Amino acid sequence: MSLYGTMRTGVSGMNAQANRLSTVADNIANANTTGYKKASTQFSSLILPTTGGAYNSGGVTTDVRYSISAQGTFTYTTSATDLAINGKGFFIVTGSDGVEYLTRAGAFTVMDDGTLRNSAGFTLMGYEYSSTEDPTIVINGFAGLSEINLASGDLSVKASESGYLNVNLPANEEDGYSKATSLVAYDSLGNTRKLDFTYTKVGVTAGPPPTTQWDLRVSYTDPETGTETELLAPTTLTFGSDGKLQTPESITTDAMTIGGAELNALEISIGGNAKGTTQLAAAFAASGDIDGIGPSGVSGYEISDDGIVYLKYENGDMAPKYRIAMANVQSPDNLKPLPGNVYSQSSDSGVIVMGYAGNGGFGTILSGALEDSNVDIGEELTAMIESQRNYTANSKVFQTGSELMEVLVNLKR
């Protein structure tokens, strides 16, 4: 046995315990850091081969591991832009260097330029929202992402494109009975245009089975001139003996130009759902709506659990503008931690997979909530005491080896 080896083993043990104390110190310091994932020190022994019957003391090495996949608890706030992920996945953020990173730290604040930036200075990324199709995701990369921006800018206008109108037509009325109702649409300049829907009972066919027919026409009357323009020629609605609408399920009005503004062709759903148009022995009743937004400023925003960012307008309308992107890897605990509570891909983490909240194995987004650090103060204090005692014990080994070495040197005297 080598006395120098004994001393080196003691030093190895002290260094290992110092590393453990370093991770404990980091964990305690970040116990209140949003989205922080604790570090832990794992020990493994170093065994040296024996030679000539003499035991060679080895030592101990350490490996730092991160509990990135362990979810913390949630703290609820009053800010809609405070975001947490309930389940798997990470937010995608970009730093001042223009590089994308992953994070669970969702304490985002709206900046003066409209972007969402967390307390570490990283900007939230996502895709521009489309009502017709989901954006194409580059599964293993960040292409197509843009900064989510809630800047209101000037007044916003969205011309109407579609809507629904469900009515009950009185079944016991005589042929020729007529009833009208109205919906408001928005043209390209944000003007409100009142559309009149007129239903006229045509008659009953003998069958079998018996059916009832109504004519529906859609018109617009200019409030200044009183001129009426048909947007839809009479369309026959056919009802079965059960009072349910058989055909058609929807109608499409004609586009028209009014005072330099364009009123789009509107697709109006009138059937094909549980609350569709009916013909029953009850009074005339109607419910419906047409999309679009008149001239209105942004008064706020709302973020749904599937990551869609809505802008709230002063007139009460809401419009989806962005969809928050999410990412994950096969081995989150092997991601590379970086300053600012962000992570980057490593050779051991696996490739980055992109997606949306609520599908494809990704968790849901909680608006008005923050994920707490997953550090347990009690465990860290216990680990601190253990490391302190073990460090002292290893120092005693070093001290003993040093004293024996002194005895050996003094044998010559």
**pLDDT at res. 129:** 84
Highest mean pLDDT among 40-44, 88-92, 231-235: 88-92
pLDDT tens for 311-337 read 888 777 788 889 999 999 999 999 999
Contacts of 242 (CB under 8 A, 6+ apart): none
pLDDT tens digit sequence for 283-293: 999 999 999 88
Helix (H) or strand (E) holding 405: helix 377-410
Residues 371, 74: contact at Cβ < 8 Å?
yes
Q: What's the whole-number average pLDDT of the chain?
A: 89
Please compute the mean of the pLDDT values over residues 165-179 and round it to a whole number: 94
Strand partners, 357: none
Residue with tokens 């116990």: 31
Strands 228-239 and 211-221, bridge-based pairing? antiparallel
Q: What is the pLDDT of residue 371?
A: 95
> If you average pLDDT over residues 247-273, what whole number do you get?
91
- Whether the per-residue pLDDT at 252 is higher than 90: the answer is yes
Predicted local distance difference test score (pLDDT) of residue 135: 61
pLDDT of residue 406: 83
Query: Hey, where are the domains in the chain?
Result: 3-67+374-410, 74-155+297-371, 158-296
* pLDDT category of residue 381 using cuts at 50, 70 and 90: very high
Residue type, 184: V
Q: Is the pLDDT of residue 221 over 90?
A: yes
Report the predicted TM-score, pTM, of the whole model to 2 decimal places.
0.68
Q: At a CB cut-off of 8 Å and minimum separation 6, what does 18 contact? A: 391
Higher-confidence position of 181 and 128: 181
* Whether residue 132 has pLDDT greater than 70: no
Integer CA distances (angstroms), 154 to 189, 240, 322, in order: 14, 50, 18
Type of residue at 63: D
What is the SS3 assignment for 408?
helix
Average pLDDT over residues 96-124: 93
CA 43 from chain centre, in angstroms, equals 38
Res. 152 pLDDT band, cuts 50 70 90: low
The CATH H-level superfamily of 158-296 is: Flagellar hook protein FlgE (2.60.98.20)
Q: Is 1 a residue whose pLDDT tops 60?
A: no
Q: How far is CA 45 from CA 48, 114, 164, 228, 323, in A?
A: 10, 53, 71, 91, 49
78 and 88 Cβ atoms separated by less than 8 Å: no
pLDDT at site 257: 94
Instruction: Give yes or no for residue 303 having a pLDDT over 90.
Output: yes
Mean pLDDT in residue range 214-225: 93
Q: Cβ contacts of residue 388 below 8 Å, gap of 6+?
A: 17, 21
Q: What's the pLDDT at 55?
A: 73
**Which pLDDT score, from 0 to 100, does residue 359 have?**
84
352 or 155, higher pLDDT: 352
- Residue range 43-57: average pLDDT? 76
Tell me the torsion sign for CA atoms 134, 135, 141, 142. Answer: negative
Six-digit token pair at 254? 């004609």
Among 53-62, 190-199, 297-306, top mean pLDDT goes to 190-199
